Structure 1
């Protein structure tokens, strides 16, 4: 090794002393520079700097195209586009527009192979050496296409040479795989024209209210002129500058012999005439659902790749995503939510008239102020707290949401926050229990004003959790006719917790089915003890509850915070007779070539409780509707089909719930304010049977009145086995006492009230 180093040293010493001449230094310098440049170029060619597309990617090069989401009834719900772009074929581009582009941007377009060597030398000599900026940039149309499609990256001091060389390499590759006409099509569909107009078709509509195919020569020249600087030569903002630039384009067209001198003279005198058209982005339908689909697609995109080996891009690759949502059912759902929430908001405002719902918890308002984007923005600017508060109390014009439509008002930001804090919100979902297909999905009251999806929000579920307790108890051998005392009991294992009924009535006994129908807390907790808390948690998890459940006694009464989605998932086990199903939103994905791509693998489940338990629970939950807290589904909405369900209300009426099911559909709804501290004052107005149940009732009635959807209500529950029917024969069962008349029965008798008209719900008071 030392010998080698000494030899090299001697060589350079000899070179330095004997062979060093100016001529040789130039020669070696030239070879060294050439070697370095070639190495640099090769590194770029093979993507060392990470931007040059591979040959495989080039072969699959396509126009950027938004992916589209369709409903099950083939309605376009949403386009995932970041830009206002409408792609058109080459045949829709006028010949004079193509000529204008070539004359202005790339006169030798049909002669070169992506890189114009003559233009490069012109730039080198005139622009760099002679400092003549009027000589142009030297980039071909193909290079500009690469620049538009593959955004430049920063490489610090070497950004310009690296990016330029990358664009040359990519342009050359593109020219090897596509015709000149295809490249023109790609270019015009990609190039931005400013003012939210991306691509030729959008620009034609934006500035001239016409389609690209109908553009005149002068209009074409205006648009091509804008390519140099879309803002500076905007024909709407700067008509004179745009006219001068247009005439330069016309002159270049004349020099290239695309138009005659006479044509140039006649057109050059014409004024710039624009006809503006505001480009409206695709707003979309069922946006809470399509946002849910986007999150599902995010998982899919991570696991599926294009033939090029790269991941699909939802905003560029033109996927067609077919979903399970039925848009007509979705419209019924949205109308039902709006109708009920408008009514509830009036009742809520009346209950709190003259007072603020957060008066006992002022921190709610304070947190809302500090969590607002306005407060955070002012804080980041270093504005003092006093000045921020002054800003919040200064009235300004704004548009606010009301149930009578958006309203233009002059209001302080503080009053705006108070306005929105008072609003009640809702979520609703409908799922086919056999397939898991989501048929309707309403995540809130206004997609425009409230982006928070309440189908995925976690809130206390109240008595809608009780069916899990009863299912576990039935699995442990409890019978629907077993009797339990309606008495207050302290549970030392839960720190002397003493659960109370929402109606504060005690005494007598309840059968198991009667306790569920009337949502009796005292009996539910006794059944929890019978079933075992761990067994209940395990069963609920198997049924579809993904949230970790707390091992506390009050869990049996619904103090766990769960989402509408996972609760609806768990309720599918009832019409499925013990078989859980995972929800499905996407059934088919097709790429732009029409090839169907793999979707999500089917989740296969096993029964989580016995068929006999399932039959008993379906009968018990049906009695909740015929004899219990959900009886209004019958007499208010005329639904006399086979129906099961359960109402629920959380502490202080903060959350109202209802889950219902037929043999072919599960529906669930939640109602409450965004902050649980804001709620109805009275149990009468705030209970789930009054807030959430009517959404389901109105939706199901709409389905029932439409022959196309009778399938979802006409199916009958499975006829119970003889053994199950015998278990329900409470009076004839040997050794089982007949139900005693309890306090509730005495009250009903004394008032001469029809029991079916009494709607009670239960909450878990603070204990």
Structure 2
């Protein structure tokens, strides 16, 4: 039954209805104006829109412009529109905002009909891509679940979306969106990081099925995570492929083809403790921070740069392939060497066999994170010792991969002490550019960098410094010296070195260096005296203390791999020491240069001395302690080098030189009291040289690197005054002796 309304009642009803409509509209406009003027929270200015703030990872770039690693709070790297595959754009638009190229930031038709879209299976959200960008990039807040706040938030999104559309092209909006979107786990932000993390590729190479998977993760990264939920990820990917087919980005056949493919995940999570050059990246970060502080390099507003947030680009000299070869060579040989070490000590009573055993274990315990944590919780020393003697679940490092095991924490200290450490550095002697830096064996557990920060006794790798001073004073490598003990006096107590592997008789200086003979080296030191040797060592870049004592000729001082490798580069570079360099420049995210590095160059010795020393160092490889390079590893090209083995075989060294590359390798345990018990196993030719050999074989095997086997050290431009031909030298000496006899000398 209908009630008939009078004309007056109809008029009053219409007036009330329009009043409500106009009132609601006026209220909506008023609220919109309040939002626009920032009464419910400040909106970004035009300047903010031009320079959106986001945590942007700083990238470490190799000399061949590959990303070696990143520093980040959020693992985010920006790419340009041209660096994004059209497959990603098509997948995103088809799924998230199919009218993206038609609207101006707000799709009112989409907003009104979104309910119907979802009913019919399109499952699209109400926000356009531009609105999502506004929320993600500028609002600084998550979606609120409070209805009133969400309405205000939605209006803010609308206003910001319209402003974004006025200031940016569609391509720029898509690029910003894809650079800022969160892909959930593994600290992955932006399409570049997502492509690298899940497919180990770059955004421009993403295929339709890969793009579909990543786009589906945008709305629910955890639900569609392909590592944790592969079934959900497959379903989500196939839905995006369906939407791409519906929007005509894929044909029916392509849709069926890609839908049938496996996910094809190539998982590479980015972590500061993983990937290439972990030790190098840690050292580099501290150096950049120190340089910025010392040189007062700040942002235009005076605030300091933040490597974890400001998207800096740090250009280094590291070569990506060579870094990989160095780490591969280390892994390959250290597996074998660690097995030798384990077998070598098998069955021994370690407490009796190792000097200061109890002290070493106690020190290791007190330096551990576990000990510090227990101390912070107020545990007594007795309680801590009980804890360390109680079996616990733990993960330990092995060269065959990390393993979970049950072990007493005190036994894990011993295990760590008996784990051999190794480090190496490789550099171009002419430019000083460091090509590879391996600071240790496992950055996750042993963070101490042994290349730059660590110093160890250098052993016989110091001998060339003494011989170089002799050569500089006119000594020929062909000069013969009787290999007998020679005591040096005048420096406190009389000193005469031991010699564990003596070659009897008269040896040339070249042979003495090749066979690493201590007595002849001491004789040469007696002739040249320690002071000029120390002077040369300092000119060649050794920064650690070197006392003016005769024993330094046998390497009784400590030095870093960084300094020693740099020093040997002077032999290969015509006597010029070029400061080892690994940082080239730092740029901000817009390409403005913030810092540029220039290496120092010092004339450490004359060109002739340097060339004669390369000739002597080649003797080490041709006939001496480094001959294993030839007969075992087949490196018959011009290579010089020097092995080094310290007292009790605690440290093993090998520094190899070619005209194009100088590489230093060190191996030893954390504590010098733990070591190989025999020279045969503990000498540098067994503990360090093989890693150099395996590395160089890989380098030579990659012709694109430009390192050639047939390149030899160039003689001095003005010729030689020192005789290298020993037959000629012997004849000259015989003639001199005959003249001396005639003159009555």
Same fold, TM-score > 0.5, yes or no? yes
How far off is 1:710 after superposition? 5.8
Alignment pair present for 1:374 and 2:373: no
* Unmatched tracts of structure 2, length 5 or more: 1-42, 82-88, 101-105, 112-124, 141-145, 199-209, 224-228, 230-265, 738-745
Give the alignment of 1:289-438 within 5 angstroms.
289-302=280-293, 303=295, 304-355=297-348, 357=350, 359-362=354-357, 363-438=359-434
Alignment pair present for 1:79 and 2:70: yes
Contact persistence 2:461–2:653 (CA under 8 A): yes
2:27 corresponds to which residue?
none
How far off is 1:288 after superposition? 2.1
The C-alpha deviation readout for 1:3-54, integer Å capped at 9, x for no partner, is xxxxxxxxxxxxxxxxxxxxxxxxxxxxxxxxxxxxxxxxxxxxxxxxx999
2:278 corresponds to which residue?
287
How far off is 1:544 after superposition? 1.3
Distance 2:524 2:409 in 1: 51
Alignment pair present for 1:684 and 2:684: no
1:453 corresponds to which residue?
449
How far off is 1:193 after superposition? 10
1:734 corresponds to which residue?
733
2:542 corresponds to which residue?
545
Contact persistence 1:191–1:198 (CA under 8 A): no
Give the alignment of 1:216-227 within 5 angstroms.
none
Alignment pair present for 1:725 and 2:723: yes
How far off is 1:735 after superposition? 4.6
How far off is 1:135 after superposition? 6.5
The C-alpha deviation readout for 1:654-692, integer Å capped at 9, x for no partner, is 000011111111111001011111100001110111111
Kindly tell me: are residues 101 and 684 of structure 1, through their superposed partners in 2, closer, same or farther at Cα, counting changes over 3 Å? same
Alignment pair present for 1:495 and 2:488: no
Distance 2:126 2:383 in 1: 54
Distance 1:203 1:424 in 2: 36
Alignment pair present for 1:557 and 2:554: yes
The C-alpha deviation readout for 1:418-450, integer Å capped at 9, x for no partner, is 211111111112111111121222222223333
Distance 2:563 2:485 in 1: 32
The C-alpha deviation readout for 1:500-530, integer Å capped at 9, x for no partner, is 3432648643332222122121222222232
Alignment pair present for 1:527 and 2:520: no
Kindly tell me: are residues 491 and 357 of structure 1, through their superposed partners in 2, closer, same or farther at Cα, counting changes over 3 Å? farther
Give the alignment of 1:469-484 within 5 angstroms.
469-484=466-481
How far off is 1:693 after superposition? 0.9
Distance 2:186 2:712 in 1: 54
Distance 1:55 1:562 in 2: 56
Contact persistence 1:704–1:713 (CA under 8 A): yes
The C-alpha deviation readout for 1:622-670, integer Å capped at 9, x for no partner, is 1122122111112111122111111111111000001111111111100
1:578 corresponds to which residue?
575
The C-alpha deviation readout for 1:203-230, integer Å capped at 9, x for no partner, is 9999xx99799569xx96x89xx9xxxx
Contact persistence 1:141–1:187 (CA under 8 A): no
Distance 1:88 1:141 in 2: 28
Alignment pair present for 1:566 and 2:542: no
Alignment pair present for 1:69 and 2:60: yes
The C-alpha deviation readout for 1:666-724, integer Å capped at 9, x for no partner, is 11100101111110000111011111111112222233334334624321112463533
1:250 corresponds to which residue?
none
The C-alpha deviation readout for 1:720-764, integer Å capped at 9, x for no partner, is 6353336743321235899xxxxxxxxxxxxxxxxxxxxxxxxxx
Kindly tell me: are residues 477 and 514 of structure 1, through their superposed partners in 2, closer, same or farther at Cα, counting changes over 3 Å? same
Kindly tell me: are residues 197 and 319 of structure 1, through their superposed partners in 2, closer, same or farther at Cα, counting changes over 3 Å? closer
Alignment pair present for 1:462 and 2:459: yes
Moved more, 57-66 or 535-544: 57-66
Alignment pair present for 1:669 and 2:665: yes
Kindly tell me: are residues 489 and 187 of structure 1, through their superposed partners in 2, closer, same or farther at Cα, counting changes over 3 Å? same
Contact persistence 2:432–2:599 (CA under 8 A): no
Contact persistence 1:357–1:678 (CA under 8 A): no
Instruction: Indicate the SS of the match to 1:291.
Output: helix
2:16 corresponds to which residue?
none
Instruction: Indicate the SS of the match to 2:571.
Output: coil
Alignment pair present for 1:536 and 2:533: yes
Instruction: Indicate the SS of the match to 2:699.
Output: helix
Kindly tell me: are residues 62 and 489 of structure 1, through their superposed partners in 2, closer, same or farther at Cα, counting changes over 3 Å? same
How far off is 1:492 after superposition? 3.6
Kindly tell me: are residues 55 and 609 of structure 1, through their superposed partners in 2, closer, same or farther at Cα, counting changes over 3 Å? farther
Correspondent of 1:612 among 599, 602, 608: 608
How far off is 1:56 after superposition? 8.3
Give the alignment of 1:565-714 within 5 angstroms.
565-593=562-590, 595=591, 597=593, 599-709=595-705, 711-714=707-710
User: TM-score normalised to the size of structure 2?
Assistant: 0.68
Instruction: Indicate the SS of the match to 1:77.
Output: strand
Kindly tell me: are residues 459 and 357 of structure 1, through their superposed partners in 2, closer, same or farther at Cα, counting changes over 3 Å? farther
Contact persistence 2:477–2:724 (CA under 8 A): no
User: TM-score normalised to the size of structure 1?
Assistant: 0.67
User: Cα RMSD between the aligned structures?
Assistant: 4.6
Kindly tell me: are residues 530 and 61 of structure 1, through their superposed partners in 2, closer, same or farther at Cα, counting changes over 3 Å? farther
Distance 2:665 2:374 in 1: 38
Instruction: Indicate the SS of the match to 1:657.
Output: strand
Alignment pair present for 1:510 and 2:507: yes
Kindly tell me: are residues 737 and 669 of structure 1, through their superposed partners in 2, closer, same or farther at Cα, counting changes over 3 Å? farther
Distance 1:432 1:81 in 2: 30
Contact persistence 2:638–2:712 (CA under 8 A): yes
Distance 1:692 1:199 in 2: 41
Instruction: Indicate the SS of the match to 2:393.
Output: strand
